[in-house]
Structure 1
Amino acid sequence: PFGNKALGEPPAIPVAPAIRNAVLNATGVAVDSLPMDPQKMVAHFKAAGLI
């Protein structure tokens, strides 16, 4: 109404949450900080006793 146009879906970047959930499902390690670089991942895995 009144000449308004629909915005549609707001922009979202689903890649990082998908990778986080894949890591959680595969290893049981929840990484809640970005960026998820290899050094941080190794530190999280060591803290969880996976390495």
Structure 2
Amino acid sequence: KVKREAEVQVGVLTQCIKGRTVQRMNPATCSNILLKINSKLNGINHTLALMNR
């Protein structure tokens, strides 16, 4: 309910994360969470390099 209220009623983007996930602080998991948040904020996570021929 909190997530729906925040996103629909207030317009604030949210990301739910379990406390256990945060406590572990696995670097790969943290990276994935940050990529997901950046994507929600319309950020660019990856780009392709152009090759010269």
Does the alignment reach a TM-score above 0.5? no
Point out the structure with max Rg over C-alpha: 1
More helix by share: 2
Please report the TM-score for the alignment, with normalisation by the length of structure 1. 0.31
